[in-house]
Amino acid sequence: MSNLDQDRARLLRTRRSFFRTVGGAALGSAAISSALRDFRLINSALAQGPGAGGFNDYKALVCIFLNGGNDSNNLIVPRGATAHANYAAIRGNLTIPESALVPITPDNNDGNEYGFHPLCTEMANLFQAGKLATVFNVGPLLFPTTRVQYQKKTIALPPQLFSHSDQVTHWQTSLPDQLPRSGWGGRIADHLHAWQDNPLMDPADRAKIALCTSIAGSNTFEVGNSIQQFHVSTSGAVVLSGAATGSARENVVKSIANLQGNNLQAKAFGDVIDNAIAAGAFLNDAIGETAPPVSTNPNSFWNTPFPSGSLGDQLRMVARIIAGRKELKIKRQIFFVTVGGYDTHTSQMGANNDALTGSHANLLGTLSKAIGAFQAAIEQISAHPVLGDGPATNTKVANNVVGFTISDFGRTFPTNSQGSDHGWGGHHVVFGGNGNPTTGAVIGKKTYGRFPVHQINGPDDTSTGRWIPSTSVDEYSATLAKWFGVSPTYMPDVFPNLDRFAQPDIGFMRSS
């Protein structure tokens, strides 16, 4: 067998097949190596966590990837006569009029006034309620970088800056100086999944699906070294294409998968098929409680409707899986959703160069509505007599689901007459929790990071209106990971470059 085939077989081998193989007394060297690796992963995780009993609470992270590079310069805009006039002088026909902005009043004062895009009222309302925070000028870095260092090339920079594919990889791996073998979400799963699914636990209490779930297909963010992502469509798990659950065709496939033989690779492949069918069936059953009462209206279960379109459909499915968390026996989940269209070189504005309409305004409006509906859905789940954790006043679930945005990059501050071009640093939002700064998840109604100086060739500009990030992806991501349960011991494995930066915890999440 070639090295490539051995790698494939090792990746296919599940822990269940490992223990079955151990009992067979006929192990080759590759199987023994795999067995020892699995034991090391389990022992390492249990030594650093709550042990074989697993977690005693539930937490979820929801990554919203804005594919194409969001022009966040128009998501959060400075207010005040001088600041807005300076913004408008450079933005040109991309300017959002100050009178149209949705004002916010942060509890912390950095000397600036801000407003959200006029179609982002839901995000502004969550901010004012203490359930959403903004993080300014975040982007991939290898080291803290100044304009002088950038221009004189006296410091290492992420390779292929301003390139879509490279910057997406840098954001999702948090390792710009290494080959993209895994994502930071996947590395978290490597560490934490054994706490909710390991052979030392009662089988009835083991998680039925993987820690990482994607509603958007394959992604780098959730690729782990040992734990892989579970894919779900916006309608649920696709158990077996062309075969309904319990159908004759499914039963035939399962029978083939369970045929006995001496070929270890065939057994491993059969186990993968068997486990995939079982996991899909488990998930589809678990989300049954939130099936729409009116089949033609997918929003009929929810008090606040999700917007039509891909993002709303994806976040609705995330909410449904979270509602089924008890049946799935899962205590930690990382979700990945994505929406495209943010590469707005042209047609960013509407008719007659109206910056209040057009493709980008529509994208931001949909994003805001989707975030607002998702937060409302989590609060509805929390108050539900069956799906929640107790009486209607209990906010445990609502206080333990956190969403956050990422994107390829920010975009250039000056207009190109039709839109904006590839940039570097950009602004992001983090949301979730009960709005209480003491007991909530996100410490909202605050801004974090440093807002860039709106000046071409100023201290934060590369030279063409591309902001040099003042907060690294590592700092942004590690703050989320710490809240999620990654221990200080394991944090360097998830974020190897974190010790290069001054703020391993930016402060927008409550300590837990």
pTM, two decimals, is 0.87
Place of tokens 């976040």: 315
Q: Are 17 and 266 in contact (CB under 8 A)?
A: no
Report d(CA 395, CA 383) in Å as an integer: 7
- pLDDT band for position 473 (cuts 50, 70, 90): very high
Which of 408, 443, 441, 457 minimizes the C-alpha distance to 160? 408
Q: Is residue 456 part of a domain?
A: yes
Q: What is the pLDDT averaged over residues 373-381?
A: 97
Which of 66, 57, 60, 123 minimizes the C-alpha distance to 403? 60
Looking at residue 5, its amino acid is D
pLDDT of residue 18: 32
Q: Is residue 160 part of a domain?
A: yes
Q: What is the pLDDT averaged over residues 178-194?
A: 95
Q: Is residue 6 part of a domain?
A: no
Is it the case that residue 452 has pLDDT exceeding 70? yes
Each residue's pLDDT tens digit, 296-307: 888 899 999 999
Residues 6+ apart with CB under 8 A from 460: 137, 147, 425, 452, 453, 467, 468, 470
DSSP count for the chain of H helices, then E strands: 15, 12
Q: Are 223 and 183 in contact (CB under 8 A)?
A: yes
β-strands 230-231, 212-214: how paired? parallel
Percent share of the chain, pLDDT over 70: 81
- pLDDT band for position 28 (cuts 50, 70, 90): very low
- pLDDT band for position 52 (cuts 50, 70, 90): very low
pLDDT of residue 393: 60
Q: What is the pLDDT averaged over residues 146-169?
A: 97
C-alpha distances (whole Å) from 368 to each of 23, 226, 228 are 54, 35, 30
Which of 364, 413, 452 minimizes the C-alpha distance to 137? 452
Among 54-63, 274-283, 482-491, name the most confident range: 482-491
- Domain interval for residue 441: 49-500
Each residue's pLDDT tens digit, 389-442: 876 666 789 999 999 999 999 999 999 999 999 999 999 999 999 999 888 899
Is it the case that residue 451 has pLDDT exceeding 60? yes
Provide the mean pLDDT of the chain.
Answer: 87
Phi, psi of 295 (to 5 degrees): -60, -25
Residues 6+ apart with CB under 8 A from 413: 73, 90, 91, 420, 423, 454, 456, 461, 465, 466, 467
Q: Is residue 21 part of a domain?
A: no
Looking at residue 195, its amino acid is W
88-100 in b/e form (b: 16+ CB < 10 A) is bebbebbbbebee
pLDDT of residue 437: 84
Is it the case that residue 388 has pLDDT exceeding 80? yes
Report d(CA 398, CA 446) in Å as an integer: 19
How big, in percent rounded to 5, are the helix, strand and coil portions of the chain? 40, 15, 50
Q: Report the sign of the C-alpha dihedral through residues 33, 38, 42, 45, in that order.
A: positive
| Range from 4-8, 17-21, 421-425 carrying the lowest mean pLDDT | 17-21
pLDDT of residue 292: 86
Place of tokens 């491993």: 268
Q: What is the pLDDT averaged over residues 356-360?
A: 97
Q: Is residue 392 part of a domain?
A: yes
**DSSP letters for 440-468:** -SB--S-EES-PPP--TTSTTBSSSSPBP
DSSP assignment, residue 307?
A: P
Q: Angle at CA 454, nearest 5°, toward 453 and 455?
A: 95
Q: Is residue 5 part of a domain?
A: no
Which of 332, 345, 364 minimizes the C-alpha distance to 486? 332
Is it the case that residue 5 has pLDDT exceeding 60? no
- pLDDT band for position 285 (cuts 50, 70, 90): very high
What is the chain's Cα-based Rg?
Answer: 24
**Total length of the chain:** 512
pLDDT of residue 432: 98
Q: Is residue 18 part of a domain?
A: no
The total number of structural domains in the chain stands at 1
Is residue 234 classed as helix, strand or coil in its secondary structure? coil
Report d(CA 158, CA 329) in Å as an integer: 40
Q: What is the 3-state secondary structure (H, E, C) of 338-400?
A: EECCCCCCCCCCCHHHCCCCCHHHHHHHHHHHHHHHHHHHHHHHHHCCCCCCCCCCCCCCCCC
Q: Are 71 and 411 in contact (CB under 8 A)?
A: yes
pLDDT of residue 20: 35
Q: What is the pLDDT averaged over residues 463-470?
A: 97
Q: How many whole angstroms from its chain centre is CA 331?
A: 17
pLDDT of residue 11: 38
Q: What is the pLDDT averaged over residues 372-380?
A: 97
Q: How many whole angstroms from its chain centre is CA 183?
A: 11
Residue 239, token pair as written in the block: 């158990």
β-strands 76-79, 113-116: how paired? antiparallel
| Range from 72-76, 229-233, 241-245, 295-299 carrying the lowest mean pLDDT | 241-245
Q: Are 494 and 482 in contact (CB under 8 A)?
A: no
Report d(CA 451, CA 257) in Å as an integer: 56
Q: Is residue 506 part of a domain?
A: no
